[in-house]
Structures are given as structure tokens and as C-alpha cells.
Chain A
Amino acid sequence: MTLTQTPRDARSNRPAAFPGEPGLWFFLFADMTLFACLFGVVVYIRDDQPEVFAPSQAALSQTLGLVNTLLLLTGSLLVALGVNALRGGPGRVDRMFAGGIACGAAFLGVKVLEWGHAIADGHTASTNDFFSAYYMLTGIHLAHVTIGLGVLIAMYRNVRSPNVRRNLVEGGACYWHLVDLLWVVLFPLVYLMPAG
């Protein structure tokens, strides 16, 4: 292969391409870096105030957290299957995306329930450092989910229209996987990580 040739994918031998577009990957990695910093805040609070961390964490609902983890993982799978269907795989892409939207919406519902319980139990953002970090992290993640839902709806409408935009569908799917990935780190860190 000479330098003038377009590099090719090693497995499929198709011309190599970024899923979505290269600029999107700047966003994805920058966002992961940002969350890594915020995760550092949680670890800091754990090491700094283990006596606050342990009982506060125990007050969270691990069950609802787990339900949300499963919802996001299922949603990610459906979106990936949808993109695969668009490339000629089995299944109908619009139904897969609709399933992804349903999972995302259910995540929002469960999160409202979870916050509602926490606030009813008297655990607000002003309670202590753990809960402040909890509301901040889950809040910023929730903003990602809400935006992701908008993106998924745009993807759903697009694949039902005659001119499918590959950039939008692949890029949107990558963003949705990011939302999932961030949660998969956030959940064990905030809900499960033992104190001290």
C-alpha cells in the first residue's frame, strides 16, 4: 500500500472511515476527559470523608441504578442493531431506534423516581458533599441523556425519510454509546464503590 491510497479496514477491506465524522470524535474524547475529572471528585470525597460517603451511598437505591444500567445497555444494543440493519443486517432500523428512544425515556422516568425518593428521604444537594456530587454527576449525565433522546428522535425521523444521512445516524449512535459508557462508569463509582 502506498501513501496515496486510502487506508482500508483490515477486516472488511472497505475504505476505512470514522463512524460519524472525525470532528465528532474530538467531542467524544473531550467529554470522556471531562467526566474522568468529575469522577475524580467522587473518589476524592470518598477518601477525604469516608464517614460521610458510606452511609450516604447506602441511602441510594442500588436497584433503581441497576434498572437504569440495564435500560441504557439495552438501548445501546438496539441502536447498534438499528445501524447494522441500515447496513443490510436483519431487522427494521426504525423499530430498533424506537426501542432505543423508549429505553432512554424510561431512564428519565426512573431517574425522576430515584431523585424523588432521595429528596423525600431528606437527601438534597445541600445535605453533604456526597449528595452534592451525586446530584451534579447524575444531573450532568441526565442532560446528556435528554440531548441524546432528541438526537435519537432526529435519527428515527431521518431513517423513515427517503434521504438517510449516514453522518447523522452513525454520529448520533456514537453519542448514544457515549451516554451509555459514561453511565457504566458512573454507576459502580457512585452507587457501588466501597468507602475507604
Chain B
Amino acid sequence: MTAGIQRACLWSGPLFVAVFFGGILAAGWLPPPAADMSADEIAQMYRSHVDGIRTGALLIAMAGFFQGVWAALMSRQLKRIEGDRPLFTYMQLGAGCVGILVVVFPSFAFAAAAYDPGRDPEITAALHQFGFLCLVGMGFPAILQCVAVGMAVLSDPRENKVFPRWTGYANLWVAFAFGPGPFILYFHTGAVAWNGFATFWIPANVFGAWFGLWFYMLRRAIESEAAEDAMAELSDVELQVRRG
């Protein structure tokens, strides 16, 4: 019955990616600005791109909306595995909700920094750095989300699995691939700075692949649920026919 609504919710994933990266592009932050910019350079960047950065902050915040839908849809499908005693379902949902903050906090910081770009450059720089450190570095909610989904998939006792088992392992790997992110706190240049190879480019690509993976998993699960419902309905009809 709800398969149609679920199919619609499924598009929240690609929409999130589009709106989120749209925001990053609007702000002119792909590739991301260098992590070792001086306060004056940062302030200058905000003064010359004020409208783009404001629009970017707005879009990044808006992307959080789609994350909520996405996490709810995954919870719905995980609950098919766990039934009425869910644990990993709640873990994923909780982590997904906190994951919204990881996107919304930076957008607030960018918005505040761009609100009055003429102020003391040190203040603009601090807000800008707060935003980037949070956005690129604090991947822990996403890590927990992947672990919860991975564990739920691997614990599926059903004959017809809701998700193929390899997707469980794939989720566990994504959790590891987000691992280098928090190390941006220690670097201002090089491969592990917030614009670096290990902490931006690897996780950013894995992030995209992660959404592709979940899209595949969820689409498959929604269709299998619809098929199961149809079968159940059919056997109900058969039963009634036999009873006369």
C-alpha cells in the first residue's frame, strides 16, 4: 500500500546529493578553499562572494530536509529485518538525525560569516573554520549509521533477505573509509588537511558511492516488500475462495 510513497521518498537521496553539492558549488567551494588561508584572505573571499556563499549556506541547510526522509526510509526497511524488537533500526535513525546537525551546523556558521562580511576578519575566519571543520571532519554520525545498517543487514535471519549480504559488508567498509576525516583537526596543508586527498577527496567520493549503494539497497527492498504484500494478499484471496 505504501510502496508508492516509499518510491517517492527514495528520491530524497539523489535530491540530497544534488542540493548539498549544489550549495557547495554555489559557494564556489569545489575544490574546497585551502585550509591554511589567512583571516584576511578568508574575509576577502566572503566579501567578494557574499551572495554565492549565502545561497550556498541556504542550500546546504535545505539538504538536511532530505536527510530526514532518507534516514526514515532506511529505518522503515531495517525494521522489516528486526520486527518489533529493533535495535540497529533505532541506532541508524538516531545517527541519521545527528547527521543532519553535521550538515546544518556548518550552514549556520557560513550564513553567520556571510551575514556581515565587513566585520573584523578574525571573526569571519573563525566562523568559516568552524563550518569547514564540522562539515568535513565530524563524520562520526555517518560512521555509526553505516555500522548500524551493516550489522542489521548481516543479522537478517529471513530466508529472503531484505538486503543482499554483501551490502552489509559494503556499509561496514564505508564506515572505515570515513575514518580519516577527523584527522583534519591536526593539519593545515597536505593530504590530510580539509581540502586534502585522504580527508576530502576519498571521503567525498565514498560519500557519493554510499548514496548510490543505499539507493540500490532501498529500491530493491521496496520492490521486494511490495511483492511480499502482493503474495500475502493473493493467499488471502485463495483462502477465501476455498472457504467458499
Q: A139: which B residues are within 8 A, CB to CB? A: 183
Q: Is A73 an interface residue (CB 8 A)?
A: no
Q: A27: which B residues are within 8 A, CB to CB? A: 169-170, 172-173
Q: Interface residues of A: mostly helix, strand, loop or mixed? A: helix
State the interface size on chain B (CB cutoff 8 A). Answer: 23
Residues A132 and B183 in contact, CB atoms below 8 Å apart: yes
Among candidates A34, A41, A143, residue contacting B197 with C-beta atoms closer than 8 Å: A41
Q: B167: which A residues are within 8 A, CB to CB? A: 23
A144 to B179, CA, bound (A): 11
Using a CB–CB cutoff of 8 Å, the interface residues on chain A facing chain B are 21-24, 26-27, 30-31, 34, 37-38, 40-41, 44-45, 48, 125-126, 129, 132-133, 135-136, 139-140, 143-144
Shortest Cβ distance from B137 into chain A, in angstroms?
A: 12
A144 to B173, CA, bound (A): 11
Q: Interface residues of B: mostly helix, strand, loop or mixed? A: helix
A-B contact pairs, 23 of them (CB 8 A): A23-B165, A23-B166, A23-B167, A23-B169, A24-B169, A26-B170, A27-B172, A30-B177, A31-B176, A37-B197, A37-B198, A40-B197, A44-B190, A44-B197, A45-B191, A48-B190, A132-B183, A132-B186, A132-B187, A132-B192, A135-B186, A140-B180, A144-B176
Q: Is B202 an interface residue (CB 8 A)?
A: yes
Residues A125 and B198 in contact, CB atoms below 8 Å apart: no
A34 to B173, CA, bound (A): 9
Q: Which residue of B lies closest to A131 (CB)?
A: B186
A143 to B117, CA, bound (A): 42
A70 to B144, CA, bound (A): 32
Q: Is B168 an interface residue (CB 8 A)?
A: yes
Q: Which residue of B lies closest to A41 (CB)?
A: B191
Shortest Cβ distance from B184 into chain A, in angstroms?
A: 10
Shortest Cβ distance from A176 into chain B, in angstroms?
A: 15
Residues A136 and B192 in contact, CB atoms below 8 Å apart: yes
A34 to B187, CA, bound (A): 20
Q: A44-B190, A135-B186, A136-B180 are in contact. List 16 more A-B contacts (CB 8 A).
A: A23-B165, A23-B167, A23-B170, A26-B173, A27-B169, A27-B170, A30-B177, A31-B173, A34-B173, A37-B198, A37-B202, A40-B197, A41-B197, A41-B198, A45-B190, A133-B192
Shortest Cβ distance from B39 into chain A, in angstroms?
A: 20
Q: Is B164 an interface residue (CB 8 A)?
A: yes
Residues B169 and A26 in contact, CB atoms below 8 Å apart: yes
Q: Which residue of A lies closest to B171 (CB)?
A: A27
